[in-house]
Amino acid sequence: MIRNWVRPGGHWLLVFFSVTSMAEIVQTLGMYWVTYRLTGNATLVGVVNATAYVPAVLAGLVFRRYADRGHASRLLGLTNRVLLIGSLLLTVVWLAGAPVPAMVGCFLAVQCSLSLVKMLNKAYVGRFVRERFDAAEARALVSRGTSLGLAGGLAGGAVAGILLDVAGPAWCFGLTAGLYALSIIAVRRSLAPGHPADDQTSGQAARGARPRKKPQPTDDADVMVGPRTVLAFSVPSSGALPFISTLMVPLAATLAPGRGAYYSALSMVATVGGFAAGLLVSSERVPMPAVLRHALLLGGVLCLVLAPVHSAAMVLLLMLPVSMVLTAHVICMQVLTNQAPRPEEVGKFTTLRNSVAGAAKAGFSLLAGWVVDARGLDTAWVVLGAVLLVFSVLWWGASLAARERAVRVA
């Protein structure tokens, strides 16, 4: 099933996934750490986090009308240049010793650009995958691509921790610029219009053409849900991960004051859990229906367990399964996003789903910062756990309704 990735540019697409994820994590950890060190304000960290999602939510409502038009390869080749410029800007501003308001303003501007570029990239990559690969290959590619992205994030977390403790934030931002430059090369090699298959398929979605192979149907109600259900249940896990990312900064400052390495370790453990989830889901060792049924329930319980824990070692230990189950759910939602809509509407639906997920990420990030400042870390974990448990109950109801509809149709 995975051998067909050796088609023109397939491996370079996976390089793109891993390199861009590593760049994003290195830069993000640097920005969050600097923001909290300079201001001591968890709410402001949540605002910086939320800014990475809000612009895409608003722009996606307009862009989704045009997401299935044009050459995906050519458009994707333009977007990461914006991120490269942003990273270079952060490097220069930090080295110039800009005042705190200017520094935070640059963080917000760069996060806005990241939000818009990720929105565009997800739509263009989604079109490429759906047009060139059949349903089984597409599911595997999305899962493995996500896993490699998490591996890149793991490497980025490790490097960021070292750089923050030893060299300083400027090295994080400079390294990010180099990684984005490498991602531009990967895009050119993987999605360049010179590949015959890409030239033939670049306009298929806009013309309403069908892919080479039809998706194979499944009789499991948990993966037979419609697009609206995919949108609704993209909210909890997509929101939970940035909620936890926002908690990590004050959590590290509380459990290990002044130690950037512990903050990096939290991020790395979370990424390891995500990477393991990607491997388990993509290899089908853990079936997707099982993830959809149980991930939110397990995530909610684990968050409630984390609430009273104040040991640095125990928090690291529990962060692994929390990130694993939540990332597994995100991966399943990404797969359903690629497979639930009609072939000619993949780009449009991907953009709409990303807008919904982005709104959840922004809202959860702001909520996390506000709850920490107002009620403390323990309450924040309880709030997240309660939300996940509510959505877990709702999913059981949605899948039961889907099963009943399938029985009536049969």
Tell me what the mean pLDDT of segment 73-81 comes to.
69
In single-letter form, the type of residue at position 16 comes to F
Per-residue pLDDT at 333 exceeds 80: yes
Cα separation, 400 vs 67, whole angstroms: 33
Q: What is the pLDDT of residue 320?
A: 93
In single-letter form, the type of residue at position 192 comes to A
Place 152 in a pLDDT band, splitting at 50, 70 and 90: confident
CA angle 209, 133, 291 (to 5 degrees): 115
Q: Is 297 helix (H, G, I), strand (E, B) or coil?
A: helix
Q: What is the pLDDT of residue 196?
A: 42
Q: What is the pLDDT of residue 202?
A: 41
Q: What is the pLDDT of residue 83?
A: 87
Residue whose C-alpha is closest to residue 90's, from 2, 7, 194, 175: 175
Q: E strand or H helix at 66, and its extent?
A: none
Cα separation, 307 vs 186, whole angstroms: 42
Residue ranges per domain, the chain? Answer: 3-206+219-409
Q: For the purposes of burial, counting CB atoms within 10 Å of the CB of 152, is it exposed (0-12), middle (13-18) or buried (19 or more)?
A: buried
Across all residues in the chain, what is the average pLDDT? 78
Q: For the purposes of burial, counting CB atoms within 10 Å of the CB of 182, is it exposed (0-12), middle (13-18) or buried (19 or more)?
A: middle
Q: What is the pLDDT of residue 324?
A: 92
The token pair at 404 is: 């009943």
Tell me what the mean pLDDT of segment 379-408 comes to.
79
Cα separation, 58 vs 358, whole angstroms: 9
Cα separation, 331 vs 124, whole angstroms: 18
Per-residue pLDDT at 3 exceeds 70: no
Cα separation, 43 vs 40, whole angstroms: 9
CA 255 to chain centre: 26
The better pLDDT of the pair 225, 161 is held by 161
Tell me what the mean pLDDT of segment 35-46 comes to.
87
Could you give the residue ranges of the DSSP H alpha helices within 256-345? 260-282, 288-306, 312-339
Q: pLDDT of 165-204, one tens digit each?
A: 888 899 999 999 999 898 888 877 765 544 444 444 444 4
Q: What is the pLDDT of residue 408?
A: 47
- Side-chain-side CA neighbours of 70 within 13 Å: the count stands at 17
CA distances from 167 to 14, 159, 164, 178, 266 (A): 30, 11, 6, 17, 20
Q: What is the pLDDT of residue 319?
A: 93
CB count in 10 Å sphere of residue 276: 18
Q: pLDDT of 271-304, one tens digit each?
A: 888 878 877 887 778 888 889 889 999 999 999 9
Tell me what the mean pLDDT of segment 307-311 comes to.
93
Q: What is the pLDDT of residue 94?
A: 92
Q: Is 246 helix (H, G, I), strand (E, B) or coil?
A: helix
Of 45-59, 289-303, 376-390, minimum mean pLDDT range? 45-59
Place 7 in a pLDDT band, splitting at 50, 70 and 90: low
Superfamily of domain 3-206+219-409: MFS general substrate transporter like domains (1.20.1250.20)
Per-residue pLDDT at 254 exceeds 50: yes
Selection from 44-58, 279-293, 307-321 with the highest mean pLDDT: 307-321
Residue with tokens 């908690």: 247
Backbone CA torsion sign across 84, 90, 93, 97? negative
Residue with tokens 């509380």: 254
Place 105 in a pLDDT band, splitting at 50, 70 and 90: very high
The token pair at 158 is: 């490790």
Q: What is the pLDDT of residue 258?
A: 67
Tell me what the mean pLDDT of segment 229-254 comes to.
88
Place 109 in a pLDDT band, splitting at 50, 70 and 90: very high
Number of H helices, E strands in the chain: 16, 0
Cα separation, 95 vs 300, whole angstroms: 42
Torsions phi, psi for 308 (to 5 deg)? -85, 0
Selection from 36-50, 113-127, 177-191 with the highest mean pLDDT: 36-50
Of 220-224, 228-232, 311-315, minimum mean pLDDT range? 220-224
Could you give the residue ranges of the DSSP H alpha helices within 51-203? 54-63, 72-95, 100-132, 135-166, 169-191, 196-201
Asked whether the beta carbons of 171 and 260 are under 8 A apart, the reply is no
Place 231 in a pLDDT band, splitting at 50, 70 and 90: confident
